[in-house]
Copies of this chain bind each other. A is one copy, B any other.
Amino acid sequence: MGLIVQKFGGSSVADADRIRNVARIITETYRRGHSVVAVLSAQGDTTDDLIAKAAEINPNASKREMDMLLSTGEQISCSLCAMAIEAMGYPVVSLTGWQAGFRTNSAYGDARIKRVNTERVLAELDKKAIVIVTGFQGINKYEDITTLGRGGSDTSAVALAAVLHADLCQIYTDVDGVFTADPRVVPEAFQLEEITYDEMLELATLGAQVLHNRSVEMAKRYGISLEVLSSFTGRPGTKVKEVAKTMEKMHISGVACDKKVARLAVVGLADEPGIAFKIFSLLAKENINVDIILQSIGRNDTKDISFTVSKQDLERAKEALEAHKSALGFDHIDVNDAIAKVSIVGAGMVHNPGVAAKMFEALYNAGININMISTSEIKVSVLVDLSEADRAVQVIHDRFFHEFGGN
């Protein structure tokens, strides 16, 4: 008997049958004596359809009007889900982002939650109602509608779980949980029973795409117990928590692959102090996140600086650098967007030297060339050719998980 926040993604509410299925999961939880707040995304392709409608009218529409438009998607899925629950005979109310008290900053399209006024939601829970809340949205100080950016519904759910002091936040999706690798790439990949926030965070950032990384950060900060599970199969999911029970020999928890990266090389820079600072403060000003950085001595007293950015920032990064070519003093910029970042993640790694070496060995044995390397306490990332990315994930997974007999 506690308070459970459940989040359902777009594929879980894609049509009438799936909405009824979600309504069954919610009412089943309610029937077991829990208070339930459910956070829903927009149905299936609704958001993409709305974006296409806008693009037809104005490809450069303001983000303020885009948010006004896109926020209708969750309002539709939530009211429909409430109707399905009404049909099952349970008390229910659907609430928009502003009705549920989500106040954000004014960064339209990518807003941050500033606070959640829980008054309305608590009043509805007091009345024993099931509360259905639109994910992904809120209002700013001007009372204009904002959206949290793609995947923001996870963040909405975790934020609600935090302010309501929920006992559990369940993230329902179309996969059974968190896997040691993408099962479409590595057939032998298996589901993890538990994972730590930090590991999940690295996996989310690295492209595992199960959970939005902002939501994991928030869950970690507020100590929210998360569970990732399927809305279709009813099987137990993966628990995300502060400390996970890890098998003695289980050093890594997964292999992730991010194909949405590109590498820039600024070639022929003068070999003088402060040049790296100039480049990366310029990119920071443009709001471009830089990931792996490699600095090398070039020919004739010059050096090169290489780094990765997300593919969508590639053009802007290049333009920003070219615009300051004379001030920075480089020869030219090389670009490679046919690359992928493959990573191993594991909280057990830090106490087990040799994990990185084992990863490199696996790649070497498979004849896969490593472009760049980056490491942290709980992950090792390498840059490989895009065409070899899936094979890299497979051989790394084989090397680590086969040895341990499939966990």
Q: Which residues of A contact B (CB under 8 A)?
A: 16, 19-20, 50, 53-54, 56-58, 60-62, 64-66, 68-69, 71-72, 75-76, 78-80, 82-84, 86-87, 93-94, 96, 99, 120, 143-145
Contact = CB atoms under 8 A, between A and B. Distances in A.
A388 B72 CA distance: 46
A61 B93 CA distance: 12
Going nearest first, the 4 A-B pairs with the smallest beta carbon separation are: A72-B72, A69-B79, A61-B83, A58-B83
Contacts of A144: 99
A76 B87 contact: no
Contact of A76 (B62, B69, B78, B86): B69
Contacts of A80: 53-54, 57, 69
Given A16-B56, A56-B16, A57-B16, A83 B99 contact: no
Contact of A68 (B50, B68, B79): B79
A145 B93 CA distance: 12
A307 B174 CA distance: 58
B99 A57 contact: no
Contacts of A58: 83-84, 86-87
30 contacts: A16-B53, A16-B57, A19-B57, A20-B57, A54-B79, A54-B80, A57-B84, A57-B87, A58-B84, A58-B86, A58-B87, A60-B87, A61-B86, A62-B82, A62-B86, A64-B93, A65-B82, A66-B83, A68-B75, A68-B78, A68-B79, A68-B94, A68-B96, A69-B79, A71-B75, A72-B75, A72-B76, A96-B145, A99-B144, A120-B143
Contacts of A60: 86-87
Contacts of A72: 72, 75-76
B69 A50 contact: no
Contacts of A79: 54, 65-66, 68-69
A79 B94 CA distance: 23
A121 to B, nearest CB: 12
Contacts of A69: 75-76, 79-80, 83
Contacts of A82: 62, 65, 68
A342 to B, nearest CB: 40
Contacts of A93: 64
Nearest to A20: B57
Contacts of A65: 79, 82-83, 86, 94
Nearest to A99: B143
Given A54-B79, A62-B82, A69-B83, 10 more contacts: A53-B80, A57-B80, A57-B83, A60-B87, A61-B83, A62-B83, A65-B82, A71-B75, A99-B143, A120-B143
